[in-house]
Chains A and B, each alone.
Chain A
Amino acid sequence: MVTATQERVRRAWDVLDTVLDPEVPALSLRDLGIVRDVIDHGAELEIVLTPTYSGCPATEVIERSVLDALQAEGLAPARATLRRAPAWTTDWISDEGRRKLREYGIAPPGPVMPDEGVPIRLFRRESAIACPHCGSLHTEKLSAFGSTACKALYRCLSCREPFEHFKPI
């Protein structure tokens, strides 16, 4: 038997699947893996979000669009809370999200290596990033940072197209 709470929470997750990330509109918040929990407190719903980067300027916009979308579906009142730990990682991007990224022209992130505590290696060789347009591994990095903190700029040496790469963090 499905309780009213379960039904509300399920509907909320469906709504979150329709709210797009403002910086990478190919992905829904659910694909991105930043919605950590939906809790029904009876009087209101709590949506637990985790930030992608400390300085991500989209965080506030995301909170607002979540609340607006829930309200439009009659699920208000709701509030959004921030949970920092465990920290968001690109490993939480769903397979569906990775497919959408590639279709959108962004090379999805590879698996994250847990190397935060290890000293850096200077001019470290990075594994080849496949071009999202033609699939070639013959690509090169143009810039370590891109239009947003989460991306780097690459170009494909086979099809000559530039593309963005979602950095693994």
Chain B
Amino acid sequence: MASASVTVSPAPAVQYLLRVGDTALILGQRLGEWTGHAPVLEEDIALANMALDLVGQARALLTYAGSLEDQDLDEDQLAFLREERDFHNVTLVELPRGDFAATVLRNAMLATFFRLLWQRLRDSSDAEVAGIAEKAIKEARYHQQHACDWVVRLGQGTEESRRRMVAAIDQLWRYSAELFSDDAVDEQAAASGLGPRWSELRPQWETEMNTVLQHAGLEAPAPGKFLSAGKRGQHSEHMGYILAEMQYLQRTYPGGEW
């Protein structure tokens, strides 16, 4: 039956690309939830536009990842017919969208990460990946500018906006450790030239994020021991719900189109 779940190749290159693609996809899905709900119209449009860019980047990566290792899976099958354990997004993106402060902070953390990652992927030994990165880096930079300006505005805004930014940092910052925790997938990607070990992005990410927080009058918490593992398929309790919503239509009406 067409709605049966699909599984993906365990090949490290496929896993590496899905980590990037799924992180963009699930963040895009989360940002899409703001459509019609953002505090002001301009931000409603901004969040929807950023979601669109992220889903577009995810489409390119999923399409390509699904063609590797003789898999013959298309972007729709990968997005709508995989089960939770086969998604490789970092946990940070699957957390509920929270309030506007949490949304802005998460966007700043991820757009900064993505800009640094795309920058390295432009030199990928894989021409297709380099091509996707060439386009995506321009978008990530625009997202980073927008989100980081907002972190400063809210940090320096009212007592209420500052309180919310502090709460967002308390809640989300610990999930950044996962972005930089390497494993065999990173090693393989670094060895083949597909892409960098994500840990290599950490120093620059910290420099840029600390600059933003400093301007905002905010502070990053000291590193702790907490380490999420979404990119290895071990997700939080929120992942099932987001997939249920995202996959509902294709699971219920297999192959449905509009």
Residues of A within 8 A of B (CB): 51, 53-57, 83-88, 115-117, 119-120, 122-124, 142-149, 153, 167, 169
B188 located at the interface, meaning its Cβ lies under 8 Å from any Cβ of chain A in the complex: no
Q: Select which of B49, B130, B207, B212 is within 8 A of A149 by beta carbon.
A: B49
Contact between B115 and A122 (Cβ–Cβ < 8 Å)?
no
Instruction: Indicate whether A87 sits within 8 Å of B152 (C-beta atoms), given known contacts A115-B141, A117-B119, A144-B146.
Output: no
Instruction: Indicate whether A122 sits within 8 Å of B212 (C-beta atoms), given known contacts A54-B56, A144-B46, A149-B49.
Output: yes
Q: Told that A51-B135, A85-B130, A88-B135 touch, could you supply 12 new A-B pairs with CB distance under 8 A?
A: A53-B52, A54-B53, A55-B52, A55-B56, A84-B60, A87-B138, A116-B137, A119-B207, A143-B42, A149-B53, A167-B142, A169-B139
B54 located at the interface, meaning its Cβ lies under 8 Å from any Cβ of chain A in the complex: yes
Which residues in B have their C-beta under 8 angstroms from that of A144? 42, 46, 142, 145-146
* Contact-residue size bin, chain B (C-beta under 8 Å from the other chain): 35 or more
How distant is the Cα of A142 from the Cα of B42 in the complex, in angstroms? Answer: 8
Contact with A along B215-230 (1 / 0, CB 8 A): 1000000000000000
Q: Interface majority SS on B: helix, strand, loop or mixed?
A: helix
Contact with A along B117-134 (1 / 0, CB 8 A): 001000000011011101
Contact between B119 and A116 (Cβ–Cβ < 8 Å)?
yes
Q: B135's closest neighbor in chain A, by CB?
A: A87
How distant is the Cα of A56 from the Cα of B152 in the complex, in angstroms? Answer: 29
B55 located at the interface, meaning its Cβ lies under 8 Å from any Cβ of chain A in the complex: yes
- Contact count A vs B, C-beta below 8 Å: 96
Q: List 24 A-B contacts (CB under 8 A).
A: A54-B53, A54-B139, A55-B53, A55-B55, A57-B52, A84-B128, A84-B132, A85-B130, A85-B134, A87-B138, A115-B141, A116-B137, A119-B208, A119-B211, A120-B144, A120-B208, A122-B148, A122-B149, A122-B215, A124-B145, A144-B146, A145-B45, A149-B53, A167-B142
How distant is the Cα of A95 from the Cα of B122 in the complex, in angstroms? Answer: 29
Q: Select which of A53, A55, A57, A85 is within 8 A of B127 by beta carbon.
A: A85
Which 6 interchain pairs have the tightest Cβ spacing?
A55-B56, A54-B56, A84-B131, A85-B131, A55-B52, A143-B42
Which residues in A have their C-beta under 8 angstroms from that of B130? 85
- Quote the shortest CB–CB distance from B41 to chain A (angstroms): 8
- Quote the shortest CB–CB distance from B181 to chain A (angstroms): 24
B78 located at the interface, meaning its Cβ lies under 8 Å from any Cβ of chain A in the complex: no
Contact between B56 and A53 (Cβ–Cβ < 8 Å)?
yes
How distant is the Cα of A169 from the Cα of B139 in the complex, in angstroms? Answer: 8
Contact between B55 and A116 (Cβ–Cβ < 8 Å)?
no
